[in-house]
Amino acid sequence: MTGPEIPESHPRYESLLTRHRIEAGVDRGLTSRQGLIAQGRGEAFDYLLGEETIPSAAEAERAAAAHLLRAEHTVLSVNGNVAALAPGEIVELAETTGSDIEVNLFNRTDGRIERIAEHLRDHGAEAVKGLTADGRIPGLDHERAKVDADGIGAADVVLVPLEDGDRAEALGAMGKTELVIDLNPMSRSARAATVPIVDNLIRAVPNMTEHAADLADADRETLDSIVESFDADEALASAEQRIRDV
Ligand code: ATP
Ligand code: MG
C-alpha cells in the first residue's frame, strides 16, 4: 500500500505517498471521489506550511492529547480519507487514550461504512462504532446527522479529522469539545474547534499518541493546565502567519 515505486529520497516523498494512499483508498471503496478533492486542498496548505509540524501545531497536539486523557468518554471519528491515510495510527491513538472509534461519513453509505470498519479491524481495532446510527446531531439534514447514540452522541470529547465545516459547527453547538485536524487554518472546521490542529493528519495522529504516552501518568492538575494554557485563536493566527512567511 505504500507504493514501492516512490524512492524515499524524492523531495516530495511524503506528499506522493499520501496521494498514493488516497488513490488506493478510492480503488478499495474506502474513500469517496470527493475525498480526492479534499486531499488536493490539504496538500496545497501543507505545501504553504512547509510540510512540517509547526510549533503551534505541536502545542495543539499536546493539548488535544491532554483533553483525550482527562475526559470521560472520547471518540475518534473516522471518514474515508482518515481510513485510507492513517488506519493503524488511529487505532494506536484510540488504545493509548482509551477512546472509541466511530466511522462517520459525509457521503454515507452502509457499504462504505462496513468496508472502513473492516479495514480498521484489520489494523487492530477491537470495536468500531458507526453502524448503529441511532443518534442524531441536531440542525443537520438526515444522512449527515447520523451518529451512534452511545458513541459520538454520548461523547464529551470528539476528535474530528478533516471534518466538514457544517458538521463541525453542529457538533460544537451540541456542547462537544471538538479537536479538529485540518491543514486549512481558515476552514470553518478549524474555526469551530476547541483545539484546532493545523497539521497533516499523517503527522498529527502519531504526534498526539506520543504526547498521550508521555502524559499517561500525569495528574489531573497537569492535564488541566495544559488544556487551559492552550489558546485556539493564537494557534490559528500563528498558522496563518507561517503561511504568509514561507
Ligand atoms: P469548511 O470547513 O470551510 O466548510 P470544507 O469542510 O468544505 O471547508 P473540505 O474540502 O470538505 O472543506 O474539507 C477538507 C479539509 O480537510 C480542507 O480544509 C483540507 O485542508 C483538509 N485536509 C485534507 N487533507 C488533509 C490531511 N491529510 N491532513 C489534514 N487536513 C487535511
Ligand atoms: Mg473544513
pLDDT of residue 15: 85
214 CB-side CA count, 13 A: 15
Cα–ligand 2 centroid distance for 183 (angstroms): 9
Burial string for 164-203 (b: 16+ CB within 10 Å, else e) reads bbbbbbbbbeeebbbbbbbbbbebbbbbbbbbbbbbbbbb
45 lines ligand 1 (CB under 6 A): yes
Residue 191 annotated as binding site:
no
Output 16 or 200, whichever has higher pLDDT: 200
Residue 160 has pLDDT above 90, yes or no: yes
Atom of ligand 1 nearest to the CA of 186: 3
181 lines ligand 1 (CB under 6 A): yes
Cell of 211: 504526547
For the stretch 114-143, pLDDT in tens is 999 999 999 999 999 999 999 999 999 888
Residue numbers of the domain that contains 214? 55-244
The band of 206, judged by pLDDT with boundaries at 50, 70 and 90, is very high
For the stretch 177-204, pLDDT in tens is 999 999 999 999 999 999 999 999 999 9
Residue 1 has pLDDT above 80, yes or no: no
63 lines ligand 1 (CB under 6 A): no
Residue 4 has pLDDT above 60, yes or no: no
pTM summary value: 0.95
Nearest CA-CA partner of 100 in 81, 124, 125, 63: 125
For the stretch 142-157, pLDDT in tens is 888 999 999 999 999 9
Cα(30)–Cα(112) distance, rounded to whole angstroms? 6
Residue range 30-41: mean pLDDT, rounded: 94
pLDDT of residue 5: 74
Domain CATH for 91: 3.40.50.12640
89 lines ligand 1 (CB under 6 A): no
Is the residue at 160 inside a domain? yes
Is the residue at 11 inside a domain? no
Residue 79 annotated as binding site:
no
pLDDT of residue 3: 53
State the total domains in the chain: 1
Output 233 or 163, whichever has higher pLDDT: 233
Cα–ligand 2 centroid distance for 243 (angstroms): 17
32 lines ligand 1 (CB under 6 A): no
- Straight-line distance from the first to the last Cα atom of the chain, in angstroms, rounded to the nearest whole number: 32
200 lines ligand 1 (CB under 6 A): yes
Cell of 152: 459520538
Is the residue at 34 inside a domain? no
Is the residue at 114 inside a domain? yes
pLDDT of residue 178: 97
Take atom 14 of ligand 1 and give the residue whose Cα is closest.
Answer: 38
Is the residue at 187 inside a domain? yes
pLDDT of residue 7: 84
Atom of ligand 1 nearest to the CA of 37: 10
Output 178 or 106, whichever has higher pLDDT: 178
